[in-house]
Structures are given as C-alpha cells and as structure tokens.
Amino acid sequence: MWSLVTVALVDGGRRDGAELRRVTREETVATRRNVLNWFLGTSAGAMCGSVVYPVLRYLVPPEVPEAATTRMVAGREGELKAGEAKVFPFGARPAILVRTVEGEYRALSATCTHLNCTVQYRADLKTIWCACHNGMYDLAGHNLAGPPPRPLESYKVDVARGEIVVSKA
Amino acid sequence: MSALVRAAAWLEERVGLSAFAALAREKHVPVHRHSLWYYLGGMTLFLFGIQVVTGILLLLYYRPSSGEAFESVQFVMARVPFGWLIRSIHSWSANLLVFVLFAHMFSVFFLRAYRKPRELTWLSGMLLLFLMMAFGFSGYLLPWNTLAFFATQVGTEVAGRVPFVGGFALRLLRGGDQVTGATLTRFYGFHVAVLPALTTLLLGAHLLLVQRHGMSVPPSVESEARRTGLRVPELPFFPNFLLRDAVGWCVALGALAGLAALAPWELGVKADPFAPAPAGIRPEWYFCWMFQTLKLLPARILGVDGELVGILGFGLGGLLWTLVPLFEREGTSDRLRRAITVAGVLVLVYMTFMTIQAYLPEKH
C-alpha cells in the first residue's frame, strides 16, 4: 500500500490503477528513496532557513522612530556676521546656516548629495564646498561644479524675536 | 639517550612529527632571475603576524564606543608604556602589508603564476586581498577621529549605492542610517572577530595550496629550460630559503620600529558628526585611486549618476581581475596572453597615476 501511495505521490497521481500494479519493485524502492530524500532535503532546507533568516534580520538594526524635526532654532541673531556660516544638527542630520555678504540668512541641508560628506561654506568663493570630492553649490543649494548630482535641500529661515528659526518647507 | 631525544621520541610516537620534517625536506624553491618575487608572500605573512600580535595588545586598552574610543587610543598613545610603539607599528605594518600584498598580487599576475593548476590559489589570494582591504577600512574608523568618520561616511555610502542590495548593505555596515557609535561597534566586531575568522580559513587554504603545487616557474624561464635542456636549479626551502626569508623579516621589523619611532601614527581630532568635512580629506592611500576617480567623474554620465558608473566599474573590474585564470587556459592564443599583460600594465599605471594625483595639492 505504501509503495502505491508513494508512486502516486511522486507521479502526482497521473497513473491509473492498472499501471500502478505493474510498477516494478525497483522503481518502488527508488521512488520511496526519492520521497525520503525530498523530506530530508526540505527539512534540512527549512532548518537552514530558520537559522539564516533570524540572523539576517538581526544584522539589520531596527528603525528607531525619530521625531521628525521640521522646525528648530539654529542660532541667535547677531551670532553670524555677514559672510559667515555654521553647521548645526537639524534632527539627526547636519544642516548649514549661511549669512550672505548682503546679510540675508540661507539654510540648507549640509549633507552632500554625492557621497554623504558634510559640506562647508567657503567665504573666499562665496559658495558651499564639499572637501571630500570637491563638489560646489551656490547659496541656493544648486550644484555648480564637481561630482554632486543633485542640489542640496533648502530650508525656510525666519528671524523672530532674535532667534533664527529654520523649518522644512 | 639525552632527555631531549627521549622527549622527541615520545612526541614522535604520539604525534608523528617526522611527516612534517619529511615535508620540509621535500620542499624546494626554484632559483632563476625572477626568484626575488617569491619572497613577497612570506613577507605578507610576516606582516600579518605582526598585525595579529599588535592587534591583540591594542585590544587590552581599546574601548569600542563613540564616547570612549578616541580617548582610549589617546590613552594608549600618551600614557601606556610603549603604547605609542605598539599602535604605530600596528598602523605602519597595516600599510606596509597592503603595499607588499599588492606587489605580491602584481608579481603573480605578471609572472602568470595563476595558470592551471593554481587557479584556486589565485582566487584565495584575491579574496585575502579584499579581506585585508576590509581590515584596513574597518580598522581606520576605530580611533573615531574626523578623517576616519568621513572616510567611513563615504565608504559606506559607496556600498549603499550598489543597485538592489545597497540599502541592506548600508544599514548592515552602519548599524543604522547614519554613521554613529553603532557603526563603530559593528566595525570593531568585523575587525577583531569576523575578518580574522575568515582570514584564518582562507589563509589556511592559500598556504595549503601553495604547499600542494609548489612555486610556479614563470613560463619564460620554463621555455628557456626546455630549449637549453637544463633543469631550473632549486634551493631547499628549509633551512636555506626560510633563512633568506628571515633576513627580509628582520629588515621589515627594523623598518617598522624606525617608522614608529620617527613618525608615530597620528591620532587627529575626535570625530564630530555635526562638523563639516575638513579640507584635504582623503582615505588611506590604497583607496585613493578609487577616491580620485570618484572625484573626477562628472555628475551625470549618459543619464546615470556619475558615482554609480564608477562604483559599478570598480566592481566589474575587480571581478574580471579575480577571474583572470579563466581567461588564460592551456590553449589560449599568444594574442590574448599579451592582451592580459597589457591590461595588467594599464591597471597598474592607472592606479599609480591616480594615487599620485590624489596627493597633489588641489586648485580651488
């Protein structure tokens, strides 16, 4: 009975009863071996999977929910003279606040769009510069020269009650 | 019978050390005009040994967290007796190791020692080279200084730009979306546990294969020997070749001590995630050719981000280089052989030129 079930199982039930009775002893043994191998193989596979999957998941850290910073005080009025700049933490990422020669404030993301370095203001060139791969941006964040493929994200700047408030548009 | 002889006999009965002695007697090294290159593998192994020893010593004081890493290395450099020596030797030896390893690889490449039956020796060697570069990259971050911080920022971002697996690789390497203390802890784990374990396995396989096949005789020397009917002369490995090796190692140890004393490895400034990348920043010299390429690539190439083209190019180039034994088989035409050599020369020239360019002062 077992051998018949086995053959039926292996063949997907395609054989009719008469054919099944003609199945030779050797074929029965071979197919029984096949089924056992199949069980063994899938069990081993499942066991490997049950070990590998948790390890892979463990390796990648969980997303730590981070209060999305959309607005923050970047400094006090008068802290920066015209033609000066500072990098400040805007949430988890650095941002840059520039006071132009004309006295206007500009705030941009300070993470270079090329390969993630932190940019700086070059007073001598009146541009934003990335020291890592020599990328240049203008004070509106547009990529001017070098490898950066995209402009820097720019933020809104408001001066209220002596505080410079930077916010995401 | 002296006690020593009796002890040797006791061991022989239980361990069978004579098999090793026989192996040592059998091993010979061919002597010809390119024999000098044979010393580079042994030199790499010696420098790796220095790394293991000094690395273990540094472990005794190092603390792998963003709050303490810099200070602990500072303590080693300034307060621990001979701490400056141990750390400087570790850093200098790491650089020397990579240099010798590259020389070893190029010599094997140009002498075509990767040919059948040594394909797997070449493969294991290339994998070891990648492992050593991973050692360099992960170790560079451990003192948690500004240079290392931005080198890691860029290096992990490069991994993150690889199509399909990039996002996973980035978070796997950084332990988050940004380079933080979590990244430092991970790199420490890679540097002192994961990479050493993998290296032990591969180094074992590499050395075993070298013993199995013996030294490769360059094709030019082989054909000359066939023409003249003279056999290529040989030198016993033990003790003749090993003693010559040892001379090189003594020189290397002296050079390391000299470098450490005259030019102790700098520690730099503690990393500040919210400070701009300082001017003149660059990675370790052996990554500079890639760094310089990324600097020079335009923002967009045929509608694709320039750095992506560069990253895929490095990956493809590295793969082809690793698979070079597959291109050169017994029936390979002389034209293809010459092409492989020319490609090797071009790669060497490109890497040298770009590395030098990365060190030249820049015009802004």
Average pLDDT over residues A115-138: 92
Statement: residue A18 has pLDDT above 70: no
pLDDT tens figures, B224-242? 999 999 999 999 998 999 9
Partner-chain residue, chosen from B276, B294, B305, that has the shortest CB–CB distance to A120: B276
Chain B segment 275-334 residues within 8 A of A by beta carbon are 275-281, 291, 294-300, 305-307
- Specify the pLDDT at position A26: 59
The mean-pLDDT minimum among A2-6, A145-149, B212-216 falls in A2-6
What is the DSSP track for B174-195? HSSSS-SHHHHHHHHHIIIIIH
Statement: residue B327 has pLDDT above 80: yes
More confident residue, B30 or B332: B30
Q: What angle do CA B184, B94, B186 make, to 5 degrees?
A: 15
d(CA B249, CA B93): 12
pLDDT tens figures, B135-154? 999 999 999 999 999 999 99
Average pLDDT over residues B74-83: 93
Cα distance from B176 to chain A (closest Cα, Å)? 6
- Specify the pLDDT at position B361: 80
- Specify the pLDDT at position A6: 47
Statement: residue B333 has pLDDT above 50: yes
d(CA A148, CA A114): 4
- For chain A, the average pLDDT equals 83
Statement: residue B285 has pLDDT above 60: yes
d(CA A81, CA B261): 45
Q: Does B165 touch chain A (CB under 8 A)?
A: no
Chain A residues close to B161, C-beta within 8 Å = 115
Question: Which three-class secondary structure state does DSSP give residue B112?
Answer: coil
Single pTM value for the model: 0.85
Instruction: Output B156-162 pairs: Cβ under 8 A, ≥24 positions apart.
Output: B156/B183, B157/A115, B157/A116, B158/A115, B158/B294, B158/B307, B158/B311, B161/A115, B161/B305, B161/B307, B161/B308, B161/B311, B162/B311, B162/B312, B162/B315
Q: What is the band of B264 on the pLDDT scale with cuts at 50, 70, 90?
A: very high
Chain A residues close to B175, C-beta within 8 Å = 61
What the block records as the tokens of B88 is 């400087």
Percent of chain B whose predicted confidence (pLDDT) is above 90: 82
- Specify the pLDDT at position A60: 84
Q: What is the band of B24 on the pLDDT scale with cuts at 50, 70, 90?
A: confident
- Specify the pLDDT at position A2: 45
Amino acid at B73: V
d(CA B68, CA B185): 11
Statement: residue A21 has pLDDT above 90: no
Cα distance from A94 to chain B (closest Cα, Å)? 5
Q: What is the band of A23 on the pLDDT scale with cuts at 50, 70, 90?
A: low
- Specify the pLDDT at position B363: 60
Q: Work out the number of other CB atoms within 10 angstroms of the CB of residue B134.
A: 17
CB contact under 8 A, A131 and B281: yes
- Specify the pLDDT at position A5: 44
Statement: residue B244 has pLDDT above 80: yes
Statement: residue B245 has pLDDT above 90: yes
- Specify the pLDDT at position A72: 87
- Specify the pLDDT at position A29: 65
What the block records as the tokens of B20 is 């090793």
Statement: residue A4 has pLDDT above 90: no
CB contact under 8 A, A115 and B177: no
Amino acid at A31: T
The mean-pLDDT minimum among A3-7, B60-64, B70-74, B168-172 falls in A3-7
pLDDT tens figures, B172-201? 999 988 899 999 999 999 999 999 999 999
- Specify the pLDDT at position B304: 85
Q: What angle do CA A54, A57, A58 make, to 5 degrees?
A: 80
Cα distance from B58 to chain A (closest Cα, Å)? 26
Q: Does A149 touch chain B (CB under 8 A)?
A: yes
Q: Work out the number of other CB atoms within 10 angstroms of the CB of residue B332.
A: 13
- Chains A, B: CB pairs < 8 Å: 88
Statement: residue B329 has pLDDT above 90: no
Average pLDDT over residues B13-36: 90
Statement: residue B1 has pLDDT above 80: no
Average pLDDT over residues B298-322: 91
Chain B residues close to A131, C-beta within 8 Å = 276-281
H-helix or E-strand spanning residue A10? helix A2-10
Statement: residue B29 has pLDDT above 80: yes
Q: What is the band of A17 on the pLDDT scale with cuts at 50, 70, 90?
A: low
Q: Work out the number of other CB atoms within 10 angstroms of the CB of residue B206.
A: 21
Q: Does A120 touch chain B (CB under 8 A)?
A: yes
Chain B residues close to A92, C-beta within 8 Å = 177-178
Q: Does A87 touch chain B (CB under 8 A)?
A: yes
Q: Does B150 touch chain A (CB under 8 A)?
A: yes
Partner-chain residue, chosen from B276, B300, B307, that has the shortest CB–CB distance to A119: B276
